[in-house]
Amino acid sequence: MKKSAVGKLIETERRKNGFTQEMLGDGICTQGTISNLENLGRLPTLETLLAIVERLNISLEQFYETIKSDSSMYHDEFKQVQLLCNKLKHKEAKELIVQLIEFDRLTTNLQRMKYYYYFGITSLIGENDYREAFYNFNQVLTIDSENANIFHILATNGIGVTYYFENDSDKAKTYFEKALILLENISELDSFDVRNSEIIKVYFNTAEYYSEMHEHKKAVDIAEKGLEHCRNNDIDFGQEFLIYAKAYNLYKLNQKARAEQHFIMASSLAILNDNQNMIIAIKKDSKEFNLELLEKFLEM
């Protein structure tokens, strides 16, 4: 497997200094973080990364030049795809993947997992192509399967969504629950995974599933658990999805006042994040549920 330029640099300098991965990470991070950096090209937090660079006596100039030279990372392109998906613009995201990201230029497992996951989710939501979705999500699960990361969790959840769209609620539940179990082991994942806003989708999709199954209390509990994770890990972008799920299911539990309060909070964040599809959904609910305060807020 071809490694990223950053991964090669860290491994080369570590060996020059006579460090094992565990020795390099001592007092900074786990051995697994070093392994992921070298083998997957997965960058930890900036603080951790700078501590590793300092321990290896790598100049900042050399380090930043290495990052710039690794043109196959596609950081900006994947970020654009993620933002489009967060705004439910999956067709546009799919077009971006096809036009800008060349699979053969991806050099690390992490990049390939990103590609397969986003190709799968955009095929599913943007094109209703279940076969393409299944194929790409399963491709994610075959890569470095012994070391679960956020994209394994997202792909597992994505399979649940695909089964649900195919009206197979039993299989969907199996994969939704499996993804939640993987999330329970989040402490074993590195900081990249813990703080990744994509985690919101796992909680939201699962809450939506239980809402459709009329298990509204469970849907509220899952949404609350997702919001707690966001608070604990400083994740702000995308919280409107979880607050909306909580609001909708509170209403179904006959808690109208609390539901309306949460609808207004979700609306505020949706407006802030330019989430037009969410705003449309909330407007529809405000009329259907006769939520006067919410309607007044949306008219402002």
Give the Cβ contact number of residue 89 at 10 Å: 19
Evaluate whether residue 160 is within a structural domain.
no
**Alpha-carbon torsion (149, 152, 155, 156), positive or negative:** negative
Q: Is the pLDDT of residue 6 over 80?
A: yes
In angstroms, the CA 38 to CA 45 distance is 15
pLDDT at residue 2, rounded to an integer: 56
The domain boundary, picked from 39, 72, 105, lies at 72
In total, how many domains does the chain have?
A: 2
In angstroms, the CA 226 to CA 144 distance is 26
What the block records as the tokens of 82 is 């993620």
The CATH number that applies at residue 36 is 1.10.260.40
What residues have CB less than 8 Å from 121, skipping those under 6 apart?
A: 85, 90, 133, 154, 158
In angstroms, the CA 283 to CA 51 distance is 48
What the block records as the tokens of 184 is 């329970």
The domain boundary, picked from 29, 53, 72, lies at 72
* Mean pLDDT for the stretch of residues 184-197: 62
Write the pLDDT tens digit of every residue in 264-295: 999 999 999 888 889 999 999 999 999 999 99
pLDDT at residue 205, rounded to an integer: 96
Q: Is the pLDDT of residue 201 over 70?
A: yes
Evaluate whether residue 105 is within a structural domain.
no
pLDDT at residue 280, rounded to an integer: 93
pLDDT at residue 194, rounded to an integer: 60
pTM attached to this predicted model: 0.76
The domain boundary, picked from 72, 102, 118, lies at 72
Give the Cβ contact number of residue 284 at 10 Å: 10
Q: Is the pLDDT of residue 9 over 60?
A: yes
* Domain that residue 24 falls in: 5-72
DSSP symbol at 98:
H
In angstroms, the CA 119 to CA 299 distance is 37
Q: Which residue has the tokens 């909306």?
A: 244
Evaluate whether residue 43 is within a structural domain.
yes
